[in-house]
Amino acid sequence: MIEVEINRGQYQALHHLLADMPKELPKVITRAINKVAKASYTRILSKISHEYAVSQSELKRRNVTLRKASYGNQIATIKIKGRRIRLLAFKARQVAKGVSYKIKKTGGRKRVYAFMESPVGGAPTVMPSGHMGVFRRKGRSRLPIIELFGPSIPAMFQTTPEFAKGVLERDVSAQLGREIISQAEFIIAQRRGVSFKAG
């Protein structure tokens, strides 16, 4: 979980800038936090899908979520959770001897002895519940079968180089410091009647 909130130094700097407009503090803080949090959320989705052969829609579906800050709760939260993602999502396709798939975009395709196509029509296997996936028999018998999975989103996040421990948090803090100043300058310019666009 990543929390986006201002630190003591940032608050003091903002308080100094808006000394004559203390009522504007909650607005500036909330706007700045939400803008940085949204950019960080988009960055996480983009970088993981760039590193791994999985779509951003699959990442969203598997619980990379953003809860925005409000005036009453000035902390935005990005949660990265979820179980392992079905192997079908990693560009899986039926081949002559099993199923090939690709976990990382920079790596080659791998193959596993499994099936994802029905004997008729070549459509991905659909379970009675309507679920589709890549499956493998537990033994020599036709049943039971088990579904195969790739890594989880938390595992992909932790192994994406750009998100090494502490790096993202430091970037978020620096971006938030700049955005607070930008939003404060926008409020000040508005009060003075100057045309100004917040960054």
Region 186-195 average pLDDT? 75
Q: What residues make up the domain containing 181?
A: 2-83+154-192
Looking at residue 115, its pLDDT comes to 80
Whether 92 and 125 map to the same domain: the answer is yes
Whether 26 and 54 map to the same domain: the answer is yes
Whether 77 and 103 map to the same domain: the answer is no
198 domain residue, yes or no? no
Whether 167 and 95 map to the same domain: the answer is no
- CB burial readout 111-125, b (16+ within 10 A) else e: eeebbbeeeeeeeeb
- What does the pLDDT look like over 121-173, one tens digit per residue? 445 555 555 567 888 887 776 778 888 899 998 998 888 877 876 788 889 99
Residues 6+ apart with CB under 8 A from 85: 54, 58, 62, 149, 150, 151, 152, 153
Whether 115 and 127 map to the same domain: the answer is yes
Whether 159 and 79 map to the same domain: the answer is yes
109 domain residue, yes or no? yes
Region 29-58 average pLDDT? 91
Higher per-residue pLDDT: 132 or 44: 44
Whether 59 and 111 map to the same domain: the answer is no
30 domain residue, yes or no? yes
Number of domains comprising the chain: 2
Whether 40 and 65 map to the same domain: the answer is yes
Whether 121 and 158 map to the same domain: the answer is no
15 domain residue, yes or no? yes
pLDDT beyond 70 at 118:
no
pLDDT beyond 80 at 76:
yes
Whether 77 and 10 map to the same domain: the answer is yes
Q: Rounded to whole angstroms, what are the CA distances from 10 to 33, 38, 66, 88, 183?
A: 12, 19, 22, 45, 13
Looking at residue 135, its pLDDT comes to 86
Tell me the β-bridge partners of 124. 117
64 domain residue, yes or no? yes
Looking at residue 187, its pLDDT comes to 86
Whether 160 and 135 map to the same domain: the answer is no
Summary mean pLDDT of the chain: 83
199 domain residue, yes or no? no
Whether 101 and 170 map to the same domain: the answer is no
Region 23-48 average pLDDT? 92
Of 40-44, 79-83, 113-117, 169-173, give the lowest mean pLDDT range: 113-117
pLDDT beyond 70 at 195:
no
3 state DSSP class of 49: helix
Tell me the pLDDT band of 120, cut-offs 50, 70 and 90.
very low
197 domain residue, yes or no? no
| Dihedral Cα 176, 177, 183, 189, nearest 10 deg | -170
pTM of the model: 0.77
Looking at residue 197, its pLDDT comes to 55
Of 76-80, 114-118, 127-131, 134-138, give the lowest mean pLDDT range: 127-131
